[in-house]
Amino acid sequence: MWGLFVLILAMALSAAVIRSMLRLAPHVGLIDHPGEHKQHEHSTPFVGGFGVLAALLLAAGLLLWLMPAQAVAWASLAVCALVMWAVGLADDRWKLGARVRLVIQAALALIMVYGGGVVLTDLGDPFLLGTVTLGVIAVPFTVFGVVGCINALNMVDGIDGLSGTIAAGTLALVSFVTWHAGDPGSHVVAMALLGGVAGFLWFNLRFGSQHRARVFMGDNGSMMLGLMIAWQLVAITQGEDALVPPVVALWMFAVPLIDTLAVMARRVWLGRSPLSPDRNHLHHLLQRAGFRVEHTVAIIGILHFALGLLGLLGAWLGVPEGILLAGFLSVFAAYLLLTARPWRFVPLLRGVHRRLHLTPALNCGVFFGNCSLQHVEEINALVAPELRDNTVFRTRLYEYRGDPVHAGRRYAVVQIQVDDDLAPLSYQGLYMRLLQRVMTPDRDAFVRAYVHRDPSNERRAEQRTPVSDQRRRERRVGLCVLLEESFTYVQDGRIVDQQVKPGAWPGARDKAAAPLDRPVRETH
């Protein structure tokens, strides 16, 4: 009962604090501006951590009142959270050096050990040979693990809603474990953090008419959350009355841990610093394959929660800890094998994207072939009624030439100009209806999603010779010609203007003359 009360109260407190900070942020310089390796295109306040901190301090205050016998532990928890938040805020504002951050993180891990009494004393039975105790290296091992957890969560904080969704998944599992085992202290902390993250996600996730994040978590929030999650995971896996085996903590924090280790291993393999920035995290690969931000967050969030739940179920079903460790290492090895060569993994993800019929991130459109439509205007008349917002889309009609087998066949590409930060999520439903509508005139036509092609997603350039690239270009040019091209402007499902021009093929002008001579139509 207390847990549910804390969850609701923390959620409301977090949302209220973040809303108030939204107004204050521009006046005190708490704004994250685009630039460097950042993906966002809008200046956004990084005040999400304020709400999460308020929720955590609420939990600490309640525990000091309800469980005064453990006052030192709860005070240590509050001090660690507050200091980590302040360091993250300073890093957001003034960009602290990596060494400074690491030293402070290690110091806070020591406070967790000696003040909170939370330390990794054993690793359970990962080798099926008995409990592995850490002895004199318990404290250094704990510090290393806590620092790794903090930075792993911080490194996946790359797109709207991702770090919060991942943190919420882990905290939900911890909340359930502590509730099931009857650990009120850890349960209140986990529920408060979960409520704080939920309040933040209301402003950070993309949903409904919210097409981009209104606030970022910032290093102040992600580093503090990483520390608190590490605290919780160590607390539930250690001691004589441990709630779950230590190996389960790996499963409950699977995606940040696996992704960070895999990216760092690839950097070392390429002869670079493991801390150097790049764009090969899982969310980067999914976006390069055409997945929109909200789809990427949903996929990674579901994967993260499913892996954590799988580890918990394994422990509760009595699966030996050695088997659980082997399973986790197998998942890591498979992920490392797939992502080590992004130029192969990204096309594979593109295939998944097409089979799911999702709206592409950069361009929303369709490709369909074997069509008998004679002019781009006829295609536009099919597409326009499905678009309810002010939209511009480009239509190109091609014909195969020079290939005796396919000569005369036509295909079209309809490309709807969509900005991933501005396009409404309702485009996904419209997109599916658009596909169905386009298929109506020609039952033999085949249809697939149009996905923006990025040369960086293909195989490495050094694996192709200039001669082979030239042959590929010649084959493409020789097989098809552009008959017509149009830019169409739609308002509330009606064509209000369209510009049609013939292609470069000499005979295309005669074929396309008719639509050019006709006035612009409005399709109702």
60 vs 52: CA distance, rounded Å: 13
Mean local confidence (pLDDT), 290-298? 87
- Cβ neighbour number for residue 80 with a 10 Å cutoff: 24
Please check the confidence at residue 365 and state whether its pLDDT lies above 50.
yes
- The 10s digit of each residue's pLDDT in 129-140 is 888 999 999 999
Confidence of residue 451 (pLDDT cuts 50, 70, 90): low
Q: What percent of the chain has pLDDT over 90?
A: 45
CA dihedral of 265, 267, 271, 273, whole degrees rounded to 10: -100
Give percent above pLDDT 70 in the chain: 77
Cα(81)–Cα(421) distance, rounded to whole angstroms? 32
CA-wise closest residue to 190 among 244, 236, 128, 148? 236
List of residues 6+ apart from 372 with CB closer than 8 A: 410, 441, 442
**Taking 50 as the threshold, does the pLDDT of residue 514 lie above it?**
no
Whether 467 shows a pLDDT value over 50: the answer reads: no
Lowest mean pLDDT among 126-130, 424-428, 518-522: 518-522
pLDDT of residue 424: 46
Residue 455 has pLDDT above 70, yes or no: no
pLDDT digits (tens, 9 = 90+) for 199-216: 999 999 988 767 788 898
Contact by Cβ (8 Å): 391, 495 = no
CA distance 282 to 163: 13
pLDDT in tens, 312-321: 999 999 999 9
pLDDT in tens, 411-426: 888 877 554 444 444 5
